[in-house]
Chain A
Amino acid sequence: MSVSILGSRESGQNIRDTNVRAVQAVANIVKSSLGPNGLDKMLVDEIGDVVISNDGATILRSLEVQHPAAKVLVELSRLQDQEVGDGTTSVVIVAAELLKRANDLVKYKIHPTTIIAGFRLAMKESIQYIKDYLSVKTESLGKDAILNVAKTSLNSKLIGAESDHFASMIVNCVEAVGVMGASKEMKYPIKSIKVLKCIGQSAKESVHLNGFALMTGRTAQGMPTSIKNARIACLDFNLNKFKLQMGAQVLVNDAKNLEKIRLRELEITKERIEKVLKAGANVIFATKAIDDFALKYFVEAGAIAVRRVDKKDIRKIAKQCGAEVLITLMNNEGEEVFNESSLGSAEEVSEERLGDNDFIFIKGMKHSSSQTLILRGANEFMLDEIERSVHDAICVVKRVLESKSVVVGGGAVETALSIYLDSFARTLGSKEQLAISEFAESLLVIPKTLAINAAQDACDLLAKLKMYHSASQNSSDEKKQEYKYVGLDLANGKVRNNLKAGVLEPTISKIKSLKFATEAAISILRIDDLIELAPKPEKERDGH
């Protein structure tokens, strides 16, 4: 007799099969977008919004997957996106392949826990092997290495054709925001890079700007478009017509008083503005509203006022130009004043027009470390995708600059690991051996998929790759040792030394994706029961 519950229950081999099927389905969706010759997906959501993307994490996030096991995979790609920023597709493909092969092993009557133990061991061995033999220090490769890393990441995206242009832009950008951290190590806070999108012209017209930019215009046309030697005030309060708070009521019993009260309401705001202007401010950023009547005071004073600036942006501006974000004008005695010390300064604040949008540029700030990338593109979808690609590349460049270690791309690492694990498995005399050789076999899914996506002969290329890597691992000849860098050349359907060709990825990305993929596969494999409770019926409403 089975337990009676409100809902359905599936257990044992059944649930493992269902889980594997669901995971496989998810992986198959993103499979064709892997690599430089991977294709894009067009996703249309329920309200008709279109997303075109090549990024695994973005595709999976938009899919709204229902099956709980498949959700683990979506979560996995999100995690990779968060921790590394790139390699979101490959991590899903590897996890799904691992699961598929593990399930086959279970069918051969090998207990899941044995497989799990084997997978864990294989993962540890591979990470050690990457660290010891496969990673290359960037110092030995020169500046080009970092550029190549960015290019490798961009190559698989929509803007692959313009990867040279974008790669140099991104590398410059990331290098410019570098700061010395507390532990004497360079940190690259990518939050200091602002990426703005602007429709129009081609992707090649995208520019890199040293300074800060806001995607808004000045509030009134009468204001000047450019101010040199700007004195900046950052206000985090409302400049609307003054209103009394809740609970206070205005009771007028004389018609004359009515006008006076109205006037007073305007006046309170006006006094605040005058205090700010008197202190010498000529550029005012406000996070909240500025009333139309209040604009004329700024226009008269020849100042630029910008309203509804994002709070995060205003804090960054304040920090860099030395201003203070004020949430009220109150001083210690409860009076309203505006001190000159709260002002910041910049060489120039100007409004410029790009495409259909106005931008406010702030140049030459005191402690400036901000970089801005303005992306151009023919349409919205393209811009969104460029933004995602640029984000991935920025993350990758940051990782390499911080860890200073890269591995060779194009399936080289996976093949090397596969060969290594296969021989490692043979040194074990237990059931784990089978699990480890399946792990080794699973890793080959990456070069295989890369070749298939590029419409090349996968079997042929894989055989060649394996031959080179096996030669490199079984020989002490120095020339043959170099073969460990051999990877796929997808454009020509050949294999080549990818270290020389400059196909590079950050080591940390490979290590993390291996870890995450294994952990995800294990957590799904450990499940032997799925209990789905029926949704609670909504309570019937009374008929009134």
Chain B
Amino acid sequence: MVNMKAANPEKGLANEKQKSIRMTNISAAKAVADTVRTSLGPRGMDKMIKDSKGEVMITNDGATIMKQMEVLHPTAKMLVELSKAQDIEAGDGTTSVVVIAGALLNSCTALLEKGIHPSQISDSFKIAGDHASKILEEMSVKLDLSDTTSLEKIASTSLASKVVSQHSQELAPIAVRAVMSIVSEGDENVDLKNIKVSKKLGGTVDDTELIDGLVFASNHASHAAGGPTRVENPKIALIQFCLSSPKTDMENNIIVQDYTGMDRILREERKYIVNLCKKIVDTGCNVLLIQKSVLRDAMNDLSLHYLAKHRVMVVRDIEREDVDFISRTLGITPIAHVDQFTSEKLGSAKLVEEETVGEGKIVRIKGCSNNSPQGKTASILVRGSNQLVLDEADRSLHDALCVIRSLVKKRALVPGGGAPEMEMSQKLLELSRTLTGAESICVRSFSEALEIVPYTLAENAGLNPINIVTELRNRHTNGDKHAGINVRRGGVSNMMEENVVQPLLVSLSALNLATELRSLILATECVRMILKIDDVVMVR
């Protein structure tokens, strides 16, 4: 009897513990989802984040918010990872993935209370998730990559929910043209590293432009010796060696014992530099890009003076990581030693020019004549009136680029505005009716959880969520697959048609099938993982 008593409470305690752990996990994750919920959709609000260093950031991007927040709870961290994964996979839809995960977890709470075993919930969610993917695939519409107008509309849908939304008209075509310029027929993927996005403070976001050629936002032509700042039909070389007097090692010294030695050193130094520069000038090079050098000055006054005299434009401090991009764009090989400096290694373009923009200067290389497949690159110069706007414009543009990329990966579309979520929800509800047992209940809560997206969209847009969601549900039951929320007019309408007429106002972060699929799969995976945890052990 005594033994029984001792054993039972202990077992009860263990069960109690597992349950409460699950609940805290779920509520911690839900809290994270609630944080970003208000920033979903074109009418979503922004977050202001002041980080531990006191830097302020205003953003609408789910992944950025989560990354900056530095949440403490381990399961909350998993949601942060989830949005990161979405950012890497699709680049957009980072908010919706977290919101869906939050809703799914919420429905788990109810299921757990009913006494359904966690692994059963998890398995049923898997079935529901798989089925949902199929539904999405079915309702998708094929897209032709040559249809730039649709692409632009998709990009602007992604941009519509950002801080820079009023500039989506300008940014969307830029994003599309940038990606399209580096894609060739039959490509299954796009390496976004081939698109260089440079930021320059000043001007407004409207001034953002796609550069025909190359742009250096942080380097400018050397003025010290009054060299040229504009060269037509330039011959460009990229060098990785230094044009300054050689430095001795730490241990070695040049010893001067006689005053004539001093003159000799001076003369030799000049001769050395002149010889280096002469070789460069002799090849006909008139624009010289010089890689940044840490150990030694990349240039000295003597070489600058000599090059300026021979009308060679000098751009110094090229970052090492940019060397690859530059040489591919211009079709040149970086030159590591002066002996290899030959005229074949020079690249050509139409014009190299230094421009004054705002308070700073940029160097532009126009009309690069490299058409080889690996030389396909694009450069975008982002402008913004202050650092906050500039950074956010950069982030938003990145999302737009990613959206176009995912279209290249999988060339199909789904409507936005909560339409796919509602459609999945409806179809899953039908599925649940064909099942029996706990599975049926689980699939059903899954389907209900998906309604969070249209619900939140309506709420964020200042509409009545109950009215909107029920109307939407009604339209979908009657077979109107593409019905979604029209945020501007405050009602329900056919998203596909609306998309054609007013693409800007269609909601949901991404119309892209791949994005939607992935976000769903990722969300489901993450929820299943959290469910299966039944104990947290703090190790110190």
Residues of A within 8 A of B (CB): 1-7, 9, 11, 15, 68-69, 71-72, 75, 79, 82, 110-114, 120, 236-237, 242, 244-253, 257, 260-261, 263-265, 268, 315, 324-328, 330, 332-336, 523, 526-536
Contact yes or no, A523 B301, CB < 8 A: no
Q: Chain A residues near B53: list those with CB within 8 A.
A: 535-536
User: Contacts A4-B72, A328-B302 known; A244 to B265 CB distance under 8 Å?
Assistant: yes
Question: Contacting B51 at CB < 8 Å: which of A111, A334, A533?
Answer: A533
Q: Chain A residues near B30: list those with CB within 8 A.
A: 1
Stretch from B40-48, B136-144, B492-500 contacting the other chain: B40-48
User: Contacts A5-B71, A527-B47, A529-B48 known; A75 to B386 CB distance under 8 Å?
Assistant: yes
Q: Chain B residues near A82: list those with CB within 8 A.
A: 359
Tell me if A's interface is mostly helix, strand, loop or mixed.
mixed
- How near does chain A come to B418, taking the closest CB pair, in angstroms? 16
Q: Is B257's CB within 8 Å of the partner chain A?
A: yes
Contact yes or no, B254 A248, CB < 8 A: yes
Q: Chain A residues near B46: list those with CB within 8 A.
A: 523, 526-529
Contact yes or no, B274 A531, CB < 8 A: no
Question: Contacting A263 at CB < 8 Å: which of B31, B34, B73, B259?
Answer: B259
Q: Is B38's CB within 8 Å of the partner chain A?
A: yes
Question: Contacting A248 at CB < 8 Å: which of B52, B226, B265, B460?
Answer: B265
Q: Chain B residues near A236: list those with CB within 8 A.
A: 224
Interface band, chain B: 35 or more
Q: Is B163's CB within 8 Å of the partner chain A?
A: yes
- How near does chain B come to A36, taking the closest CB pair, in angstroms? 30
Among B46, B252, B255, chain A packs the most CB atoms within 10 A around the CB of B46
Contact yes or no, B270 A120, CB < 8 A: no
Q: Is B279's CB within 8 Å of the partner chain A?
A: no
Contact yes or no, B462 A111, CB < 8 A: yes
Q: Is B539's CB within 8 Å of the partner chain A?
A: no
Contact yes or no, A248 B259, CB < 8 A: no
Contact yes or no, A326 B47, CB < 8 A: no
A111 to B301, CA, bound (A): 62
Contact yes or no, A69 B166, CB < 8 A: no
Q: Is B372's CB within 8 Å of the partner chain A?
A: no
A265 to B262, CA, bound (A): 8
A257 to B30, CA, bound (A): 83
Contact yes or no, A247 B253, CB < 8 A: yes
Question: Contacting A5 at CB < 8 Å: which of B70, B258, B267, B460?
Answer: B70
Contact yes or no, B47 A531, CB < 8 A: yes
Contact yes or no, A330 B270, CB < 8 A: yes
- How near does chain B come to A253, taking the closest CB pair, in angstroms? 7
Contact yes or no, A3 B274, CB < 8 A: no
Closest to A15 in B: B48
A176 to B125, CA, bound (A): 77
Q: Chain A residues near B51: list those with CB within 8 A.
A: 533
Write out, one digit per residue, whether chain B residues 423-439 have a CB within 8 A of any chain A CB (1) or not (0).
Answer: 00000000000000000
Closest to B260 in A: A264
User: Contacts A1-B27, A3-B69 known; A247 to B58 CB distance under 8 Å?
Assistant: no
Contact yes or no, B386 A533, CB < 8 A: no
- How near does chain B come to A177, taking the closest CB pair, in angstroms? 17
User: Contacts A6-B70, A327-B225, A527-B48 known; A264 to B259 CB distance under 8 Å?
Assistant: yes
Contact yes or no, A523 B256, CB < 8 A: no
Contact yes or no, B71 A535, CB < 8 A: no
Q: Is B126's CB within 8 Å of the partner chain A?
A: no
Q: Chain B residues near A531: list those with CB within 8 A.
A: 47-50, 65, 68-69
